[in-house]
Structure 1
């Protein structure tokens, strides 16, 4: 199949669904000649986990940052909850953002705040009307959901890499998002901890009915979490399918991810 044919809308297991995320003809260039996205099209249905694979610099993180308005694309359309986020005012965009959780590679915790304060700060930023008792209960519940209720008074510097990831995830979950964007959720973790994080992603999907985009280089994580996988190459979607389909793809470059 030629490159242009492969760069089509991501297939869906149920075409009749209205996608919860839909990206059409997305382009982004930095500077004069660093083009990272050259017309990407994809969709994510409700309750689906989409994994994005690609070499470093292929535009994976840029794409999900465009979804939440952290980066502005040069061209294209991004629909979230059937709203084109690129046409929204800041106030309208913020209403969309409160339904989206974003787990950064580092966990992005505030080092000067305790675990309790990190989570409470995020919750208050989204729901200013909550009482202190409600905030405290929500913080405890979020931490218990990731198995770290006992870490509530620790500082980020006291946490292992795996614990920081879990706390970052708890901070994401505390706003009860409908969509979660994971940017390398298992990077820098040992094999056992990586598997625990992958299992947690699946548990969250099933318990909270979230839809997710997961960027990863960790093929064990991809195999465990993906309903569907797309592979980015040279700014476009080079291949897509289930883990099992892509593992057997005739394209040697695609199969190299699975070796």
Structure 2
């Protein structure tokens, strides 16, 4: 089957804002009355960390799941690297997905596999042309980048919550994604480990120039990682700005996130 050529983003200066994700009029309803998204419009720029805040059930996770096709919206347009992913056939959507890393809230590691096997599984599935030595090299490098080279032969059950999150992040990074979607990256972690994960997110952006959307309830994580924040309320974007701008907002509901 003939495949379309992949979109190549132009080289730009750091001052220019190039959207790698553009969402327009995103609507999603579950059942008859659960209107989760009511026309979301947002963009993610190249090299930006965008944090999405909102109360539970406000549609934060649904929004990023729509981006990678895990949830199909009722209406709207989602452009990733300039392509409307809602119009792509399966093999075209898979090409886009390879360029997007998704860190699930529960880490989603395969419990019956070692750390090495978890990472190798991802490589073999999406980069089948790699040799065994190349796979080994990739695994060692990505574990080194998250500070867990020594965990290569451990089972997920032998890892702490923070270590599991780092391994899940390593699995996300191993295909060298240009965009990373983080779904509650620090949930369930203690304060020190949460900060370590937040600092790792920042470090990875600096090293790899990734663009990220970070869904979180952790305001310390938001403050440390966000270039820009949007807050969802009742299925729409209620506020947008920097951490400081929103913290000083005259809107009492917005300020309540920062208390």
The interval holding the TM-score normalised by the smaller chain is: over 0.9
Match of 1:57 in 2: 57
Give the SS at the match of 2:109: coil
Q: Report the counterpart of residue 233 of structure 1 in structure 2.
A: 233
Gaps of 5+ in 2: 1-13
Deviation at 1:18, TM superposition (A): 3.1
Structure 1 residues 159-202: Cα deviation after superposition (integer angstroms, max 9, x where no partner): 00000000000000000000000000000000000000000000
Match in the other structure for 2:143: 143
TM-score (norm 1): 0.94
Question: Deviation above 6 Å: which 4+ runs of structure 1?
Answer: none
- Tell me which residue corresponds to 1:198: 198
> In the alignment, which residue of structure 2 is the partner of 1:88?
88
Give the match for residue 179 of structure 1: 179
The whole-number CA distance in structure 2 between the counterparts of 1:172 and 1:16 is 27
Q: Which residue does 1:21 correspond to in 2?
A: 21
Q: What number of residue pairs does the alignment pair up?
A: 246
How far apart, in 2, do the equivalents of 1:107 and 1:42 lie? 26
User: Is 1:127 the equivalent of 2:131?
Assistant: no
1:59 and 1:231 map into 2 onto residues whose CA distance is: 10
What is the alpha-carbon distance in structure 2 between the residues aligned to residue 125 and residue 22 of structure 1?
28
The corresponding residue for 2:47 is 47
Secondary structure of the 1:107 match is coil
Task: Report the Cα offset of residue 16 of structure 1.
Answer: 5.5
Aligned to 1:170: 170
User: Could you tell me how far apart the structure 1 residues matched to 2:16 and 2:87 are?
Assistant: 25
The residue that corresponds to 2:8 in the other structure is none
Which residue of 1 is the match for residue 11 of structure 2? none
* Matched residue, 1:31: 31
Change (3 A) 1:34 1:122: same
Task: Return the alpha-carbon distance in structure 2 between the equivalents of residues 125 and 64 of structure 1.
Answer: 23
